[in-house]
Amino acid sequence: MALPTYASPLEKTWHYTYLVICGLIFLFLISPILIVIPLSFNAEPYFTFTSKMLALDPEGYSLRWYDKLVTFGMQAPEGERGAAFWSDFWQNAQWMQVTKNSIIIGFFSTILATALGTIAALGLTRPEMPYRKQIMAVLISPMIVPIIISATGMFFFYSWMKFPIPSFEGGFHFEWVRLAGSYFGIILAHAALGIPFVIITVTATLFGFDQSLVRASASLGANPRTTFFKVQMPLIMPGVISGGLFAFVTSFDEVVAVLFIADHDQQTIPRQMWNGIREQISPAILAVATILVVISIALLTTVELLRRRSERLRGMSPQ
Amino acid sequence: MTDATAQLTTADGRPLKAALAASMAVRRRRAFLLVAPLFLFILISFIIPIGQMLLQSVHNDTFSSAVPALSAWFDENPQGSEIDEAAYAALAADLKLMKAEKTAGSAGTRINYDVAGTRSLFTSTARKADKLEAPFKEAILAAEPKWDDPNLWRAMRSASNPYTIDFYLAALDMTRDETGAIVAVEEGQAIYKKLFWRTLSLSLEITALCLLLGFPIAHLLATLPMRKAMLLMILVLLPFWTSLLVRTTSWMVLLQSQGVLNDLLVGIGLIDDEGRIQMMYNQTGTIIAMTHILLPFTILPLYSVMKTIPPSYVRAARSLGATSWTAFRRVYLPQTLPGIGAGGLLVFILAMGYYITPALVGGADGQMISNMIAFHMQKSLNWSLAAALAAMLLAIVLIFFWIYDRLVGIDKMKLG
Amino acid sequence: MKKTMILTTALVATGFAASANEINVVSWGGAYTVSQVEAYHKPFEQLTGIKVVSIDADNPATPLKAQVEAGNVSIDLADVELSDAIRLCDEGLLEPIDPAILPPAPDGTPATEDFVDGALQDCAVANIVWGTVIAYDTTKFPENPPSTLADFFDLEKYPGKRGLLKAAKRSMEMALVADGVAPGEVYDVLGTPEGVDRALAKLDTIKDSVVWWDAGAQPPQLLADGEVVMTNGYNGRFFNAMIAEGKPFDIIWDGQYLDYDLWVIPKGAPNLEGAMEFLKFSTDTQRLADQAKYISYGPARKSSAPLVGMYQDGKTEMGPHMPTNPENMKNVIATDPIFWADHDVELSERFNAWLAS
């Protein structure tokens, strides 16, 4: 990007203007994400920088909104911070409950999406796969179809469909439970929404996969099983993990399907945020936002490291 | 030698062609079996639910199931028949039934979708239904003179069949007149066509903004040395990985009239305290927030295309005497077209279906068609209309998805 | 995969088993729900051991209707407005409630006589009387503050954004009264097409300055954030912001809109028995009076009125803040539930078309 030595003054001016424009766009990209971090430490219930904050006066900052996150919904929020307090927190604090739900739902839907998606990607990338494009289009569709349409469809169908769960009360039998309003229903919904991301990342890794390695492995006497686990698997693993992370983030961030098919028992972090934002964005919401930003930084780092590892393993890295 | 093209055979004597075909079939089946579980899963958890929902846009039996007597009368008397005493007797019988079964409200609601202002006719007349006596025409008209409306009878005839295209008409701001001919609704009542246009134009504006802002960034990233580019890339990817709700919240904090941006403008004296700019709860808010949210979706495809353009082309053009502008316009830009197509189309498709962001920052005039679908799903509970609107939105989105597939190819879609 | 399924089903099973001894109560959120939790839910849980799960909705009538119609009911009890209670009952979506099961007043007066007029319906029992009022930010109008409904529509004298509930109900009546219609004749006028046009024309005069809200907790927040200078909203929410949070707001008690909130039980409620128990408990004389300790809504029983005293801070007399206080009843618009039960769908449609144009 260095300017050639023969550049005219006009070109030089343009070049620096261009860099400034890029800087402004980067500012536009990143400032909304970073702005919530200092504001979440506001000592006052405002969403803007107070004069004390601008003067970097420690009094302008506090952890009160984080404290509020901890105590909100607890039975004895004023209690001493001992074992009883934290057990109360674990069982009753609203944000703790929704965090548990988000993790449970995110975890199971990710497993489901990643397992099914990876197996399907193995089939999809075989050259002999019939109707590949059409099937791919169907499998990607949850990402393309507007979420409001997916969620309303699920609302009716999941309200109607029941699934059996084993019950031991009064002799062994199956109890029929509705999908809507159950963890299982939301896990299914989120798995469906996360699958396109798994398919896209894993097929991308597999298309880059050198098929001669499989033949080499077979010619050296390995059976298909061994070949898969010893040769293919380690090479596509980074793709699978980043696909899984995408699926997890999709579930972790999803609110519309939860709005339509979840009960109060299955409220998630974004669902709770949605409530908070609509009714009153107290800086407590900004504290949640800050925590989520830190999580996304961690996830992003993981994915980047994985991607580089994958490229290195496949000898594609330009470095 | 008629046997010149003697068949090649395998070791066990089978024709090679057949053996190959058989082995190919086995491999095809294996590939398909790997995909089958996921395909079934998506079918059951996703495709069928949407299909079932869309069915409601042409099927609504809330009225037809409540009026057995009227349905019978409509079957016997074709359109245009005189609304005689027998018709009113059937109506009276059905109103009594509605009162007993408590279906007047929902049956009336169904007719009200077609002829505005008629739901109350059903509920109020059904409340008095037990007192209705022959001759029924007189009795009913005495209770509510509005029953004498031919358009109302036309609507009841049409709704007595559970299958209907009326909800699509409504979704296109159309209705039927008393003869059953399709006409546009009155000026003040038309909303959906306008809303579809607004959704399309907002999505276009957002796409254009994304391309405009994304192009220089992608270009910078593609031409910088790898190490620097990777660092800057994080600034693009971080928003991509950050929760949609977090980003929307941030924009609310920034754009509020007492928010950071207005405070900043007041602070540097650009506007005074009275003149704070309304940047939220209107279209501006929707456009700013959605552009920010969708920007990475244009930068990433643009970047991956620009990466593959050798810088020597532009240099060659310059050395052949082209100005830098000409070199950019005639040599560089055409090569980035696949990236512009991929990024632009993807953003356009995603923007059309947005719901959360417009709902939170859009106010009244920043709402999109998704918000109207949500409104009919959750508030007015006119599910058939919601389904019809959803079907139309889905059709538009799928058309663009198809174009995307033709131009870019769905298997070329990349994330990060 | 198998493990996943087993774990999941175990999760579902525990969630399912837990619901046997709890009831899901849907209400309007914010300060109002807090008052119910303090006055009803907590003592009820202590007394019966039945857990009360409190769920917020913008208007509980809509999720209730959606649930019953989709055949997937998880709500046991909902707090709805009078016209919605009548409408839902008309549509057969509610369990009938026999007023004879309700406890009598402490002096033995049967419930049917103790409740104020209209508070007992076929499928509903009222708990409070509440008002929709206009509140404004006193710091914005230090001199000559607004005092009438007409001032709300006067952008020249009182410049600034307005907050309004995004619904036909209340907005249209307010507009008509501000336009000079006598409160007693509002529904006669609104029943005619010209009346509807007149209400929308009046709303048109401020349309560009309106920030629309959905949830009852939003208007005090909009005022506090400075997003609007004046807004309509529920009187108890403003009371809470003014007294409990010390916000510089004041209420215009001109042309307030009086309504009931009633408990209803949807058809197919998973815990019908528990819901009935809760309904009986929460509408007895003492409980209704207790609620007024936490929010300025009037109890629906006559026998509760003398028991209403101070706000929970121990120094604010509740009387002057009650919507039923004679001082506050100027130009009061009493809701016509039958009118809205019959016309809500039609007028909402008109209102939305107007909103989108």
Tell me the average pLDDT across B297-315.
88
In a domain, B3, yes or no: no
Residues C98, C44: contact at Cβ < 8 Å? no
Rounded (10°) angle between helices C61-70 and A147-160: 60
CB atoms A279 and C221 under 8 Å: yes
C159 and C59 belong to one structural domain: no
pLDDT tens digits for range C210-269: 988 988 888 998 898 888 999 999 999 999 889 888 889 999 998 899 899 999 999 999
C304 and C252 belong to one structural domain: no
B249 shares contact with chain C (CB less than 8 Å):
no
Chain B touching partners, 3 or more CB pairs below 8 A: A, C
CB atoms A1 and B225 under 8 Å: yes
CB atoms < 10 A from the CB of B1, how many?
5
Distance from CA of B214 to the nearest CA of A (A): 8
List all residues of chain B from 119 to 158 with a beta carbon under 8 Å from chain C.
119-120, 123-124
C265 shares contact with chain A (CB less than 8 Å):
no
CB atoms B380 and C92 under 8 Å: no
Residue A319 predicted with pLDDT over 50: no
C15 → closest Cβ in A108, A183, A279 = A183
Give which of A251, A246, A256 is closest to A147, Cα–Cα: A256
In a domain, C323, yes or no: no
Confidence band of B3 (pLDDT split at 50, 70, 90):
low
Q: Which of B200-204, B211-215, B367-371 has the lowest mean pLDDT?
A: B367-371
Tell me the average pLDDT across A20-29.
95
Residue C134 predicted with pLDDT over 90: yes
Residue B29 predicted with pLDDT over 50: yes
Amino acid type, B20: L
Tell me the average pLDDT across C75-87.
91
Distance from CA of B311 to the nearest CA of A (A): 10
Total domains in the fold of chain B: 3
Q: Which residues in chain B have their CB less than 8 angstroms from residue C349's CB? A: 112, 116, 189, 380
Distance from CA of C110 to the nearest CA of B (A): 28
pLDDT tens digits for range B116-134: 778 888 888 988 888 888 8
Total domains in the fold of chain C: 2
pLDDT of residue A163: 83
Q: Which residues in chain B have their CB less than 8 angstroms from residue C225's CB? A: 256-258
A175 in helix, strand or coil? strand
B258 shares contact with chain C (CB less than 8 Å):
yes
C146 and C177 belong to one structural domain: yes
pLDDT tens digits for range B159-172: 999 999 989 998 99
Chain C residue whose CA is closest to B115:
C346
Most confident of A23-37, B314-328, B371-385, C329-343: A23-37
Give which of B399, B411, B377, B397 is closest to B57, Cα–Cα: B377
What whole-number distance in Å separates Cα of residue B199 and Cα of residue B192?
10
pLDDT of residue C59: 87
Residue A112 predicted with pLDDT over 70: yes
C150 and C212 belong to one structural domain: yes
Q: Which of A260-264, B39-43, C234-238 has the lowest mean pLDDT?
A: A260-264
In a domain, B72, yes or no: yes
In a domain, B7, yes or no: no
CB atoms C356 and B194 under 8 Å: yes
CB atoms A29 and B410 under 8 Å: no
C77 and C140 belong to one structural domain: no
Provide DSSP, C3-60: HHHHHHHHHHHHHHHHGGGEEEEEE--HHHHHHHIIIIIHHHHHHH-PEEEEEE-SST
Q: Which carries the bigger pLDDT value, residue C53 or residue B411?
A: C53
C22 and C120 belong to one structural domain: yes
pLDDT of residue C25: 95
What whole-number distance in Å separates Cα of residue A143 and Cα of residue A190?
11
C145 and C122 belong to one structural domain: no
Residue B416 predicted with pLDDT over 60: no
Residue A211 predicted with pLDDT over 60: yes
B76 and B160 belong to one structural domain: yes
Q: Which residues in chain A have their CB less than 8 angstroms from residue C13's CB? A: 165-167, 175
B208 and B278 belong to one structural domain: yes
What whole-number distance in Å separates Cα of residue B81 and Cα of residue B109?
25
Question: Measured at the alpha carbon of residue C245, what is the angle toward residues C243 and C247, in degrees to the nearest 5?
Answer: 80
Q: Which of B215, B228, B243, B281 to probe by mutation at the A interface, max A CB count within 10 Å?
A: B243
Chain B residue whose CA is closest to A146:
B353
pLDDT of residue A2: 58
CB atoms A48 and B295 under 8 Å: no
For residue C29, the enclosing domain spans 2-129+260-318
For residue B388, the enclosing domain spans 192-412
C9 shares contact with chain A (CB less than 8 Å):
yes
CB atoms C72 and A104 under 8 Å: no
B102 shares contact with chain C (CB less than 8 Å):
yes
Give which of B400, B44, B410 is closest to A134, Cα–Cα: B410
Residue A318 predicted with pLDDT over 60: no
C23 and C63 belong to one structural domain: yes
Percent of chain C with pLDDT over 70: 94
C1 shares contact with chain A (CB less than 8 Å):
yes
Confidence band of C128 (pLDDT split at 50, 70, 90):
very high
A156 shares contact with chain C (CB less than 8 Å):
yes
List all residues of chain A from 204 to 233 with a beta carbon under 8 Å from chain C.
none
B202 and B285 belong to one structural domain: yes
Percent of chain C with pLDDT over 90: 46
SS3 content of chain B, % helix, strand, coil (to 5): 75, 0, 25
- What the block records as the tokens of A93 is 């604090």
Distance from CA of B182 to the nearest CA of A (A): 28
- What the block records as the tokens of B313 is 């082309």
Give which of C302, C294, C340 is closest to C324, Cα–Cα: C302
pLDDT of residue B5: 57
Tell me the average pLDDT across B322-339.
87
Tell me the average pLDDT across A40-49.
81
- The whole-model pTM stands at 0.88
Which domains are present in chain A?
1-92 (no CATH), 95-281 (1.10.3720.10)
Chain C touching partners, 3 or more CB pairs below 8 A: A, B
B173 and B272 belong to one structural domain: no
Residues A81, A226: contact at Cβ < 8 Å? no
A77 shares contact with chain C (CB less than 8 Å):
no
- What the block records as the tokens of B88 is 């009113």
Residue with tokens 């998606």: A117
CB atoms A279 and C218 under 8 Å: yes
Residue C153 predicted with pLDDT over 90: yes
C335 and C196 belong to one structural domain: yes
Say which DSSP state A5 is in: T
CB atoms B119 and C346 under 8 Å: yes
B113 and B214 belong to one structural domain: no
A270 → closest Cβ in B235, B245, B373 = B245
What whole-number distance in Å separates Cα of residue B41 and Cα of residue A192?
8
Confidence band of C1 (pLDDT split at 50, 70, 90):
very low
In a domain, B58, yes or no: no
C4 → closest Cβ in A108, A160, A279 = A108
What whole-number distance in Å separates Cα of residue A68 and Cα of residue A41?
12
B277 and B180 belong to one structural domain: no
CB atoms C8 and A183 under 8 Å: yes
A59 shares contact with chain C (CB less than 8 Å):
no
Residue C49 predicted with pLDDT over 50: yes
Tell me the average pLDDT across A195-213.
85
Confidence band of C13 (pLDDT split at 50, 70, 90):
very low
B45 → closest Cβ in A48, A192, A242 = A192
pLDDT of residue C315: 82
C9 → closest Cβ in A104, A159, A166 = A166
- What the block records as the tokens of C103 is 């406890």
B140 and B184 belong to one structural domain: yes
A107 shares contact with chain C (CB less than 8 Å):
no
C299 in helix, strand or coil? strand
Chain B residue whose CA is closest to A276:
B249
In a domain, B282, yes or no: yes
Question: Measured at the alpha carbon of residue A99, what is the angle toward residues C70 and B356, in degrees to the nearest 5?
Answer: 55
pLDDT of residue C17: 43
B100 shares contact with chain C (CB less than 8 Å):
no
| Close Cβ partners of A278 (under 8 Å, ≥ 6 residues apart) | B360, C214, C215, C218
C274 and C140 belong to one structural domain: no
A145 → closest Cβ in B253, B324, B394 = B394
In a domain, B298, yes or no: yes
pLDDT tens digits for range B230-247: 889 888 989 888 989 999
pLDDT of residue A3: 67
B167 and B229 belong to one structural domain: no
Handedness of CA B12, B15, B16, B18 (dihedral sign): negative
C311 and C232 belong to one structural domain: no
List all residues of chain C from 54 to 73 with a beta carbon under 8 Å from chain A.
55-56, 70-72
In a domain, C65, yes or no: yes
Average pLDDT, chain B: 88
Chain C residue whose CA is closest to B98:
C91
pLDDT tens digits for range B44-101: 999 999 999 999 999 999 899 999 999 999 999 888 888 889 999 999 999 999 988 8
Residue C357 predicted with pLDDT over 60: yes
Percent of chain A with pLDDT over 70: 95
B160 and B236 belong to one structural domain: no
Q: Which of A17, A29, A240 to probe by mutation at the B interface, max B CB count within 10 Å?
A: A29
Q: Which of C68, C88, C346 to probe by mutation at the B interface, max B CB count within 10 Å?
A: C346
C66 → closest Cβ in B188, B256, B381 = B381
B110 and B155 belong to one structural domain: yes
Residue A304 predicted with pLDDT over 50: yes
Q: Which of A279, A282, A286 to probe by mutation at the C interface, max C CB count within 10 Å?
A: A279
C305 and C214 belong to one structural domain: no
CATH of the domain at C233: 3.40.190.10
In a domain, B59, yes or no: no
Q: Which residues in chain A have their CB less than 8 angstroms from residue C28's CB? A: none
Give which of B44, B39, B51, B182 is closest to B114, Cα–Cα: B182
C134 in helix, strand or coil? strand
Average pLDDT, chain C: 87
In a domain, B396, yes or no: yes
B379 and B236 belong to one structural domain: yes
Q: Which carries the bigger pLDDT value, residue B12 or residue B86?
A: B86
